[in-house]
């Protein structure tokens, strides 16, 4: 049985999984986290704890290049963090669906007896072992 939280998650993710996968939405949702990460980098650089970085920054790097680099770090971090979050949600969704399917299969297996069993529960083997060919859906037009 699924808990009520798991059922709510299944309903939410089934309705929103395609919307959450879009790149622009992921960038927008993760941008505050990415900007805070890049702000932490700027604080470390400008705090002066690493004097060689301050010397390099003051001589060779233009401020425009620094701003572009910080924005690229923020955007990249935000997109990858949201993609990872989406993958974790998708994995949970697929696991819950498999669990639900397995529970339904177990319930149906208990309710429906197997016609190929004897009274003692042993399975009667098919003497011919004839398998029906599967329909080839690729060649149908």
Q: Quickly list DSSP for 79-106.
A: HHHHHHHHHHHHHHHHHHHHHHHHHHHH
Residue 99, in any domain of the structure: yes
Residue 132 lies in a domain: no
- Number of domains within the chain: 1
Task: Flag whether 89 is in a domain.
Answer: yes
Query: What is the Cα–Cα distance from 129 to 132, expressed in whole angstroms?
Result: 10
**Are 78 and 34 contacting, i.e. CB atoms less than 8 angstroms apart?**
yes
Domain encompassing residue 88: 4-111
Reported as half-sphere exposure (CB side, CA atoms, 13 A), residue 102 has a value of: 8
Is 16 contained in some domain? Answer: yes
Residue from 26, 30, 4, 11 nearest 93 by CA:
11
So what's the pLDDT on residue 88? 95
Q: Looking at the whole model, is its pTM more than 0.75?
A: no
Give tens-digit pLDDT for 23-75. 888 888 888 888 888 888 888 777 877 788 777 777 777 778 888 988 898 88
């Amino acid at each position: 049985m699924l808990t009520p939280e798991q059922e709510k998650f299944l309903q939410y993710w089934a309705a929103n999984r395609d919307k959450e996968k879009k790149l622009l939405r992921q960038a927008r949702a993760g941008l505050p986290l990415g900007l805070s990460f890049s702000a932490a980098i700027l604080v470390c650089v400008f705090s002066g704890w690493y004097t060689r970085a301050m010397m390099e920054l003051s001589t060779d790097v233009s401020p425009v290049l620094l701003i572009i680099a910080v924005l690229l770090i923020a955007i990249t971090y935000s997109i990858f963090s949201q993609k990872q979050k989406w993958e974790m949600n998708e994995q949970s969704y697929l696991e819950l669906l498999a669990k639900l399917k397995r529970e339904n299969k177990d319930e149906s297996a208990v309710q429906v007896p197997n016609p190929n069993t004897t009274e003692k529960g042993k399975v009667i083997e098919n003497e011919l072992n004839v398998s029906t060919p599967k329909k080839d859906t690729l060649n149908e037009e």
